[in-house]
Amino acid sequence: MSSKSEIESLVYLLDDPDPYIHTEVKNRLYELGEQAVPLLDQHKSEVENEEDRELIREIIQWITYSSVEEDFLDVLEGGVNNLKQLEDAVFILSRFENPTLRESEYKHKLDRFSQMIGDEVRYSLDDSQKMHAVLDFVFTDLGFTGSTTDYYNPENSFLHRVIDRREGLPISLALIVLFLGRRLNLPFHGVNMPIHFMLKYKGEVEEVMIDPFDHGKLVNYNQCYYFLKQNGVEPQSTHFETADETEILARCIRNLINSYEKLDKLDIVESLKKLLNTVETLVRQ
């Protein structure tokens, strides 16, 4: 039997209700490795039962984990010292959710977003107008918003799903603004504030704090201090400093770990913890 024919047969047998057959099929698919992924992915898009889709998704993730991990570690080895490198790392991180993700398609979407707002930014008269043009575009025109009904859903942390759904966590929404800002050469920065990730815009005249979870609302430092105290955190000046790219990446992974722990998917948690350890080593260097 040709490899392709065998894979097709195994995919068909995934629908068999017999637990023994299920186990044997999964084991054989694991043995076949990544050559089985395209047909598995096609089958996943065709099945209607959510449990079946989840089973196929888990098989694909198991098969592809090593190669995705290797690509992620390659990016880290090259350094995560600017927003371009952070964007590369974040989209590889998205492949842990969707191993067949075409990263370039989502980077092109970000390119297209920057083109849509580029002229308005270019002809704005001052820093404040440029900043507001981008914030209004992201949170009003494109409709990105904070997830309030299903906050811990992992989809709120994977950037490709945030782009698809226009919904996410403070840090994932901030990444949309940061990556557009990079393309438009605007001074947006991340702020690794405890509990709630923030943005900062460093204009020529002043610095402005921005809440990405509240539709890009401008906030002052007193409001941030009050928020932290209300949540049991003693404010420190370091809480409002610009975050570097490795710190942002580490926080993205911690959010995912938290989400998968709540789903009791401990195998994914352990894999992500290994990645986090590597990233945190870079932070300490």
In the chain, the percentage of residues whose pLDDT exceeds 90 is 60
E strand intervals along 6-151:
145-146
* Helix orientation angle between 83-94 and 50-78, rounded to the nearest 10 degrees: 150
In the chain, the percentage of residues whose pLDDT exceeds 70 is 98
DSSP-based helix, strand, coil % in the chain, nearest 5: 70, 10, 25
What's the pLDDT score for residue 1?
43
- Give the residue, 212 or 63, on which the prediction is more confident: 212
Q: Which of 4-8, 18-22, 120-124 has the lowest mean pLDDT?
A: 4-8
3-class secondary structure, 97: coil
pLDDT at 187 over 80: yes
Confidence of residue 160 (pLDDT cuts 50, 70, 90): very high
Task: Report DSSP state, residue 203.
Answer: -
User: How are strands ordered across the β-sheet holding 198-202?
Assistant: 188-191, 198-202, 207-211, 217-219
Reference 171, options 189, 193, 197; nearest CA is 197
Residue 248 makes CB contacts below 8 A (sequence gap 6+) with: 86, 171, 175, 190, 192
Q: Distance (Å, rounded) from C-alpha 137 to C-alpha 111?
A: 14
For residue range 95-119, list pLDDT tens digits in order: 888 888 899 999 999 999 999 999 9
Residues 36, 2 contacting (CB under 8 angstroms):
no
pLDDT at 71 over 80: yes
Q: Distance (Å, rounded) from C-alpha 144 to C-alpha 255?
A: 19
**Strand 188-191 versus strand 198-202 pairing type:** antiparallel
What's the first-to-final CA gap in the chain, in angstroms? 52
Mean pLDDT for the stretch of residues 241-265: 95
